[in-house]
Structure 1
């Protein structure tokens, strides 16, 4: 079920009221589109003007270059960015191929992380994520059985922890495309998809596991993995037709999954999860009808898996005293570890071009609770962002 606004405005004491002054919503032009948030909530990363960029309150938007292919994510401490870049010259091309790389925010320098010695056009590999500690780059790389350096027909799920490479092919036997885009803190548990379908997979120390779970008495394949908690226990991902398009949080310790309720099922909306908390209780995601505009029509929510309740992020912000002035947060990009900071894309009340947003909430003065959501949601304590 979805929490209602009457529940949301239950204020938990005068101490909370006095803390509201620090909650804030920052919006910015669509020349910056966030794709991830650091675990400490200080730094966003995303698309810039002609390359990648990051943002923090001290420096604003900082352009860092790179190649806008794949996706960009940032480490928990905000110092390392996993993104695609132009690689160095190699025996097959003097200009270098696009490949997965790491940008060091502190030094302002890029480092390539390799590929599988194949390419398609000018691309050999692309980055799609980074581990929490910033030491493992996640993505995909072109591969086939022709001579090294030859044109490839597919992309394989790939990670790299070695500056300059080599990259590690996580499933060299596949005949379909795959990708890695989620990781725990140290890169020992990673996830994405393996067989070029909507089914999710994880790799634990390199060993693959296809994600399955019971759904209404039937064993189903779970959707693409989008996030993994820091300790590697909880895995979150997209809904599929087999789960009535309800996204999930999977507990590796019990081998069971929970599925987010869909208040918009009558509108045929489909769900995905962007972030899951360290304890697996809370998740951030969105529902959207197929073919509709994700920047305009999506419902951005927070799901309490224990109470089985979803609440719109707009309503959570309003409950903390933030005047949204008609701004509608629709597309989730990232959430901080403590669950007080979010980023994504939304639409202003004027209905003009989309804008990036950075939403910082206040912790609730109650043990183990960080987001007030009234009787419907006691609080949200989040350890892992992602993306």
Structure 2
């Protein structure tokens, strides 16, 4: 996308965030749902198709451009980003990267317009960070696979028209090698949903169990048409996803600093604004440093990603640092607000709870540390 067109998109999204999303935050928190009208406006803006190539009806943004738009969106509650996140991520990207031409033609235009919402069905009751231990099975019977298993904490499952499902097609291969990725229409017989999860934060972002009970999935729905490549497909999307989560973190940091600085300039104690107190200034300064550090890392690593460089270590470091940083910024925000920061009347306690999840999904901080260290060791030995 040329610079002029992109800047027009960014300014449009920024106005949408200010005029529509931020004013609707309290309603989303109260109703535990994003209003359908806002979801439709997100479709109209093309936000479901950020990462889908233009030839399939998407915006075809680079990683750097996607990160900039996600940063704008997540100045509002992360629940709004959740509406599009699973579609923009592996829901579409697994097909973009490894899908057959027929799969691309059938699904990418629907995903780009938001006609179809995608969910990523990987996590299980006993398989989270250790994705290679998943137990959902897909047994070949003629030209279909019989799928059985339960997936847990699946974002957007109640709205999904399609699941990118990870299932074990070869029980004889332990770990990740026997896993395949399927495109599973959500209306197939045998698919049922659990009760919506009640979470610490991120109200409005829907997750629940998805149960597959003798679901017959066409063999042609294996992404790329080749069994046993599912985990590799997921790994190819991870770097992009980790940059995306850094952008989410940065958008939340932007908003937290904005709210905290405004409060520090307005709140008075001992006859003066609390922003004049050096210990408050220290917390504000530390948050600004975190903001600049995340922004610098994200922009540099996204540019390397767009240039085709190998950035797996850098993406893990970025995801780790950015999500830990937004946790620190949120904690300082509550501290600066004082007693008010603990009250639901002020939004910082909500942001504090919302951003806590960022250190867990898309690979926990501890998984990122392991990835970074192992890559360092491999590089040293090489």
Question: Into which bin does the TM-score normalised by the smaller protein fall?
Answer: under 0.3
| TM-score, normalising length: structure 1 | 0.26
Greater fraction helix: 2
